[in-house]
Amino acid sequence: MTASIIANQAPTLPLAGRAKDLVGSMIDSSTSLLAAQTHDIVRFAMGSPADEAVPSEEFREIAGTILDASSFTYGATEGEPRLLELLVKYLAGTPDPSSEDRLVITTGGMQGLDLACKLFIDPGDLVVVESPTYTNGSATALSYGAQLLEVPMDEDGMLVDQLEDLVGHHHRPPKAIYTIPTFQNPSGVTMSLERRKALLELAHRWGSIIIDDDPYGLLRFSGNDIPTFQTLSPQDPLLFSVRTFSKILAPGWRVGWVDADPSIRQLLINGKQAMDTCTNVPNQHIVAEYIARGGLDDHLASIRVLYRERKDAMLDSIARHMGDRVTTTNPEGGFFLWLTLTGEFEGIDTRELFEVALADGVAFIPGPALSPGGRFRNALRLCFASSTPERIEEGIKRLTGSLEKMIA
Closer residue to ligand PMP (CB): 142 or 403: 142
Q: How far is the CB of 342 from ligand PMP (least distance, A)?
A: 26
Backbone angles phi, psi at 50, to 5 degrees: -65, 145
Which of 49, 55, 132, 256 is in the footprint of ligand PMP by CB under 6 A? Answer: 256
DSSP 8-state class, residue 40: -
Per the CB < 8 A criterion, the answer to whether 363 and 34 are in contact is yes
- For ligand PMP, which stretch binds (CB under 6 A), given 108-116, 142-150, 266-274, 337-345? 108-116
Single-letter code of the amino acid located at 55: P
x/- mask, ligand PMP, residues 161-200, rule CB under 6 A, reads: -------------------x----x---------------
For position 367 contacting ligand PMP by CB under 6 A, the verdict is no
User: In the range 198-217, which residues lie near ligand PMP by CB under 6 A?
Assistant: 213, 215
Distance CA 107, CA 213 (A): 15
Stretch that binds ligand PMP, among 107-115, 143-151, 310-318, 325-333 (CB under 6 A): 107-115
- Decide if 240 contacts 210 (C-beta within 8 A): yes
Which of 25, 44, 45, 47 touches ligand PMP (CB under 6 A)? 47
Q: Across-strand partners of 212?
A: 179, 241
Nearer to ligand PMP, 108 or 331 (CB): 108
Q: Which is nearer to ligand PMP, 109 or 366 (CB)?
A: 109
Residue 110 in contact with ligand PMP, rule: CB under 6 A: yes
- CA 407 → CA 19, 313, 327, 328, 365, distances in Å? 40, 26, 18, 20, 20
Beta carbons within 8 Å of 267's beta carbon, 6+ residues apart: 119
Stretch that binds ligand PMP, among 103-111, 200-208, 358-366, 375-383 (CB under 6 A): 103-111
Toward ligand PMP, which CB reaches closer, 243 or 321? 243
Residue with Cβ nearer ligand PMP (26 or 322):
26
In angstroms, give the least distance from the CB of 335 to ligand PMP: 8
| Nearest to ligand PMP of 279, 378 (CB atom) | 279
**CB–CB of 121/146 below 8 Å?**
yes
244 sits near ligand PMP (criterion: CB under 6 A):
yes
Residue nearest to ligand PMP (CB): 108
108 is a site residue for ligand PMP (CB under 6 A): yes
Residue 251 in contact with ligand PMP, rule: CB under 6 A:
yes
93, containing H or E segment: none
130 or 360, CB closer to ligand PMP? 130
Task: Answer yes or no whether residue 79 interacts with ligand PMP by CB under 6 A.
Answer: no
Sign of CA dihedral 330, 192, 254, 284: positive
Task: Name the minimum Å distance from CB 244 to ligand PMP.
Answer: 3
Q: What are 341's strand-pairing partners? A: 326
Neighbours of 132 (CB within 10 A): 27
How many residues bind ligand PMP (CB under 6 A)? The answer is 14
CB of 388 to ligand PMP, least distance (A): 21
Sequence-ordered strand ranges (E) for 115-238: 126-131, 147-154, 157-158, 176-179, 209-213
Q: Out of 109, 188, 217, 367, point to the residue binding ligand PMP (CB under 6 A).
A: 109
Contact flag: residue 25 with ligand PMP (CB under 6 A): no
Q: How far is it, in rounded angstroms, from Cα 241 to Cα 261?
A: 10
H-state helical runs in 293-370: 296-322, 350-360
Which of 315, 321, 363 has its CA nearest to residue 40? 363
**Looking at the DSSP assignment, which residues form a beta bridge with residue 209?**
176
CA angle 332, 334, 339 (to 5 degrees): 75
CB-based burial, 32-59: b 16+ in 10 Å, e otherwise: ebeeeeeeebbbbbbbbbbeebbbeeeb
Candidate residues 59, 134, 178, 229; the one interacting with ligand PMP per rule CB under 6 A: 134
* Contacts to ligand PMP by CB under 6 A: 47, 108-110, 134, 137, 180, 185, 213, 215, 244, 246, 251, 256
